[in-house]
């Protein structure tokens, strides 16, 4: 089904290592992101290198516990040192972090080059690790009856510790991240929690470093949490989602690493790198399609708003035409000649005239009319109605429709909002008369019933607007 040989003994363990690393990192990454410290995670995961190399040079072994401890200490030191330089030296936070971790990382690389003469530790390994070699180094678990790769065991423990930390101290992490002052004042020392978090970031970085490389930790500390943050506005959901995204990226990354290069006739590429790319793709998807914050849904919502405003405008214009026919053109013309075309209503109104009045094109107006008639707000005017001048049949398509009862009621509500706003702006805000219409025209589309009632109350329930036109009230008809 997958188009390649899936070997549980090999691929299964590789994916397991990737998923564990990804989940362990993104659990902590959520809080780094919300503390605006994503970069510190990056810094720590780079800076553990001299700790690893130093401990290695001293002990001469790759898997000693001292190596682990040494690297973790250097990692935590990174956080302490950059804090110190930032506070005492009055150096910018980002700059102080950059100074500390690049210096440490570079000195770590130098130490590895020195050590490389003697052993099999190479700088390339630092970046993208050796996740493909995961299944080769196994520990036997006789009571389980299977041999589990050492890396998977270590990463399982780290993931478990991180999950316990986030689970048990969820509340404390939340309060100290949101409001450090309140946390401290409530007896949860914010700096204690901060350094506990930094220690675990260092532990995670070290555990992942040798197996899956630096690039995957950095990516998984930042990318899945950032993706989840786009998708939700609940912290718990964000943590769970980011773990899921991390896990799926890890699995998908491995599959992509094997499949995609083969399309172009290459051999499979580095899995850790592809896992990071997969996470980046997940972020792009969320960036484009996230329901609330995604680029495309936002665009669609904007267009929809514009469209419904146009439909409202067409509806109210039809109402005004009706109205001026009922109460006479002279009345509205006397109120104010300059602001609105309705006041100088031509005898026959056509679609092109509506388009011109609403500053849009005929095509849009026709579609708006079609939409309104689909919703039952308007119906086609009868061709043989007296006074509609049906002689020119070629222009029949341009003849405006009539309002239905539902449509008239809806139009009255909007016109009521409009005129109440005009009244309010004149009496309460002192807006100049020539700018009244434009302001009210904007507000009318965002005025709900409650706001309308408040407007009515604050303008002493007027019956005519500042231009002398009646303010309709659909409830009283």
Partner 1 sequence: MDPIALSVDDLTVAYHRKPVIWDVEFEIPQGKLVGVVGPNGAGKSTLLKAIMDLIPKASGRVEVFGKPYHQSLHRVGYVPQRESVDWDFPVDALDVVTMGLYRRVGWCLPIRKKHRDAAREALARVGIADLAHRQISQLSGGQQQRTFLARALVQDADLYLMDEPLAAVDAATEAAIVELLKQMQADGKTAVVIHHDLQSVPEYFDHVVLLNMRVVASGRTEDVFTNENLQKTYGGRLTLLDEATEAMRRRERGI
Using CB under 8 A as the criterion, which residues of the chain lie in contact with partner 1 when the complex forms? 34, 90, 168-169, 171-172, 174-175, 177-179, 181-188, 229, 232-235, 237-238
Nearer to partner 1, 167 or 380 (CB): 167
Report DSSP letters for 177-203, one per residue.
Answer: HH-HHHHHHTT--HHHHHHHHHHHHHH
Smallest distance from partner 1 to CB 429, Å: 16
C-beta separation of 364 from 355 below 8 A:
yes
Smaller CB separation from partner 1, 7 or 292: 292
Q: Write down the least CB distance from residue 378 to partner 1, Å.
A: 35
Give the residue with the Cβ less far from partner 1, 183 or 198: 183
CB nearer to partner 1: pick between 240 and 259: 240
Tokens of 167: 């689970």
Shortest distance (Å) from residue 92 CB to partner 1:
16
Q: Which residue's CB is nearer to partner 1, number 178 or number 363?
A: 178
Q: What is the spatial distance between Cα 217 and Cα 348, in angstroms, rounded to a whole number?
A: 71
Nearer Cβ to partner 1 (184/373): 184
Give the CA dihedral 246, 247, 250, 252, nearest 10 degrees: -110
Q: How far apart are CA 167 and CA 418, in angstroms?
A: 53
Query: Given the complex with partner 1, which of 109 and 244 has the nearer CB atom?
Result: 244
- Quote the least distance from Cβ 185 to partner 1, whole Å: 5
* Shortest reach from residue 356's CB to partner 1, in Å: 39
Q: Is 166 helix (H, G, I), strand (E, B) or coil?
A: helix
Q: Which ranges constitute the DSSP H helices of 268-427?
A: 271-289, 295-327, 329-335, 351-357, 362-374, 405-424
Q: How far is the CB of 191 from partner 1 (least distance, A)?
A: 11
Please enumerate in sequence order all residues whose Cβ is within 8 A of that of 355, keeping only pairs 6 or more positions apart, or say none.
361, 362, 364, 365
Give the nearer residue to partner 1 in terms of CB position, either 172 or 422: 172
Q: Residue 298: enclosing H or E segment and its boundaries? A: helix 295-327
Minimum gap (Å) between residue 231 Cβ and partner 1? 10
Strand spans (E) along 19-123: none
Q: In whole angstroms, how close is the CB of 230 to partner 1 at the nearest point?
A: 11
Q: Give the separation between CA 260 and CA 175, rounded to whole angstroms.
A: 44
Question: What distance in Å separates the CA atoms of residue 455 and residue 424, rounded to the nearest whole number?
Answer: 7
DSSP string for 2-34: -SS---IIIIIHHHHHHHHHHHHHHHHHHHHHH
Task: List Cβ neighbours of 311 (8 Å cut-off, separation of 6 or more).
Answer: 368, 371, 372
We find the least distance from the C-beta atom of residue 292 to partner 1, in angstroms, to be: 10
Q: What gap in Å lies between CA 153 and CA 317, rounded to an integer?
A: 72
Closer CB to partner 1, 16 or 241, in the complex: 241
In the complex, least distance from residue 287 CB atom to partner 1, rounded to whole angstroms: 16
Tokens 């005025």: give the residue. 447
Which residue number, 169 or 307, has a Cβ lying nearer to partner 1?
169
Q: Which of 162, 144, 170, 140 is nearest to 21 (CA)?
A: 162
């Amino acid at each position: 089904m997958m188009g390649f040989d899936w070997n549980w003994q090999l691929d299964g363990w590789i994916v397991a290592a990737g998923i564990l690393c990804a989940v362990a990192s993104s659990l902590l990454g959520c809080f780094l992101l919300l503390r605006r410290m994503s970069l510190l995670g990056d810094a720590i995961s780079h800076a553990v290198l001299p700790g690893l190399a130093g401990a290695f040079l001293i002990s001469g072994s790759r898997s000693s516990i001292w190596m682990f401890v040494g690297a973790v200490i250097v990692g935590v030191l990174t956080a302490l040192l950059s804090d110190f330089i930032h506070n005492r030296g009055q150096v910018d936070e980002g700059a102080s972090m950059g100074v500390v971790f690049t210096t440490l990382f570079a000195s770590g690389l130098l130490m590895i080059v020195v050590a490389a003469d003697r052993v099999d530790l190479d700088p390339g390994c630092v970046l993208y690790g050796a996740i493909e070699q995961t299944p080769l180094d196994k520990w036997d678990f006789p009571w389980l009856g299977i041999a589990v790769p050492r890396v998977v065991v270590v990463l399982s423990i780290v993931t478990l510790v991180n999950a316990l930390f986030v689970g048990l101290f969820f509340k404390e992490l939340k309060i100290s991240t949101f409001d450090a002052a309140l946390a401290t004042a409530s007896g949860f020392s914010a700096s204690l929690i901060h350094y506990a978090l930094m220690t675990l970031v260092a532990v995670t970085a070290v555990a992942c470093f040798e197996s899956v490389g630096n690039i995957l930790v950095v990516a998984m500390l930042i990318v899945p949490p950032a993706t989840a943050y786009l998708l939700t506005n609940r912290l718990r959901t964000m943590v769970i989602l980011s773990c899921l995204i991390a896990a799926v990226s890890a699995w998908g990354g491995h599959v992509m690493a094997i499949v995609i290069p083969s399309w172009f006739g290459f051999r499979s590429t580095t899995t850790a790198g592809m896992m990071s790319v997969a996470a980046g793709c997940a972020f792009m998807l969320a960036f484009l399609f996230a329901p609330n914050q995604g680029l495309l849904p936002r665009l669609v919502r904007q267009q929809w708003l514009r469209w419904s405003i146009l439909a409202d405008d067409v509806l109210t214009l039809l109402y005004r035409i009706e109205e001026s026919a009922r109460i006479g053109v002279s009345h509205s013309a006397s109120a104010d000649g300059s602001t609105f075309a309705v006041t100088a209503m031509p005898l026959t109104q056509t679609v092109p005239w509506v388009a011109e009045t609403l500053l849009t094109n005929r095509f849009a107006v026709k579609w708006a009319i079609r939409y309104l008639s689909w919703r039952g707000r308007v119906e086609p005017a009868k061709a043989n109605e007296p006074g509609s001048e049906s002689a020119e049949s070629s222009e029949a398509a341009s003849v405006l429709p009539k309002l239905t009862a539902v449509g008239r009621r809806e139009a009255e509500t909007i016109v009521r909002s409009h005129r109440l706003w005009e009244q309010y702006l004149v009496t309460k805000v002192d807006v100049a008369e020539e700018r009244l219409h434009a302001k009210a025209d904007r507000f009318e589309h965002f005025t709900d019933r409650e706001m309308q009632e408040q407007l009515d109350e604050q303008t002493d329930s007027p019956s005519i607007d500042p231009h002398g036109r009646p303010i309709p009230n659909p409830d009283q008809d």
